[in-house]
Amino acid sequence: MLSDIEQLARAFNCAERVLIITGAGLSADSGLPTYRGVGGLYNGNTSEGLPIEAALSGPMLQRDPALCWKYLAELGRACLGAHANAGHRVIAELQRLKPQCWLLTQNIDGFHRAAGSPDERLIEIHGQLAPLYCQSCGQLEHDLAACLEAQLPPRCRQCAGVLRPPVVLFEEMLPEKALDSLYQQIGQGFDLVLTIGTSASFPYIVEPVLRARAAGSFTAEINPARTELSATVDVYLPGKALDVLPELLGHISGDRICKSTL
């Protein structure tokens, strides 16, 4: 009888179209904070007594850009001080092995791209931290590190307008291009959907898994803690992505032939 990780490896080898969904838990192994759960960034209030969702919101960026940037800068410094880990690199290798392996990430750190995931099959649903752009004139600023070292909020060199990153803040709409790409791919169906390190708090994360289950496709989750998806997937693998993914790749590399005994 196959173990859970062997079942997932066999399903990957047999699949043609794959969707991998990643959340903050993957980058936590690089030293970045998670958003919810143990030690999560969003578990409590800020020093100003505000929910972090209010501090990191689109309306706050307009009303009090210095306060919003106080917490954007925390994320920015954490990302600049960390690097892609083995989990990111395994995912890039899985995409190399499968030309129709897509990656949907909630993370804004850019680590997937740095690890080698191809731009054309990477959907950054919450955007990314750089380059910054001016909200007044649109001028781009590529030196995020220099902006974070200067007085906050960072200002445009051309017009002195407030800069912002191309991320989705709370109370803002998701990027239309990313959504269109996601639902175009969901419409084509996936043979395997794998979630990694996400609390699965958003409908656009849960929906691909539920659609795959309804279509009879294989679904799996890698996460230290159980989520609302854990009971619905075919395989739940408890543990850190940094530990589980290299082991998974070992099974995939060692069994590249699709067999019918899933």
- Collapse the DSSP code of 71 into the 3-class scheme (helix H, G, I; strand E, B; otherwise coil) and give the result: helix
**Rounded to whole angstroms, how far apart are CA atoms 172 and 16?**
35
Beta bridge partners, 127, equal 167
What residues have CB less than 8 Å from 212, skipping those under 6 apart?
Answer: 19, 189, 190, 192, 193, 218, 219
State how beta strands 140-141 and 235-238 pair.
unpaired
pLDDT tier for residue 230 given thresholds of 50, 70 and 90: very high
Domain of residue 121, residue span:
4-32+84-129+172-254
pLDDT tier for residue 44 given thresholds of 50, 70 and 90: low
Higher pLDDT, 3 or 78: 3
What residues have CB less than 8 Å from 62, skipping those under 6 apart?
Answer: none
Would you say the pTM of this structure is higher than 0.75?
Answer: yes
In this structure, what CATH number is given to the domain that contains residue 179? 3.40.50.1220
117 is a domain residue: yes
By annotation, the residues acting in catalysis are 126
Number of domains, the chain = 1
| Residues 142-182: tens digit of each pLDDT | 999 999 999 999 999 999 999 999 999 999 999 999 999 99
DSSP letters, 72-92, are HHHHHHHHHT----HHHHHHH
Among residues 146, 113, 150, 111, the alpha carbon closest in space to that of 31 is found at 111
118 is a domain residue: yes
247 is a domain residue: yes
Higher pLDDT, 113 or 36: 113
64 is a domain residue: no
115 is a domain residue: yes
60 is a domain residue: no
186 is a domain residue: yes
**Rounded to whole angstroms, how far apart are CA atoms 78 and 232?**
34
**Rounded to whole angstroms, how far apart are CA atoms 6 and 201?**
28
Could you tell me what percent of the chain has a pLDDT over 90?
A: 82
| Residues 111-142: tens digit of each pLDDT | 999 999 999 999 999 999 999 999 999 999 99
Q: Two tokens at 251?
A: 């099974």
What does the mean pLDDT of the chain come to? Answer: 92
pLDDT at 4 over 80: yes
| Residues 73-114: tens digit of each pLDDT | 988 998 898 999 999 999 999 999 999 999 999 999 999 999
56 is a domain residue: no
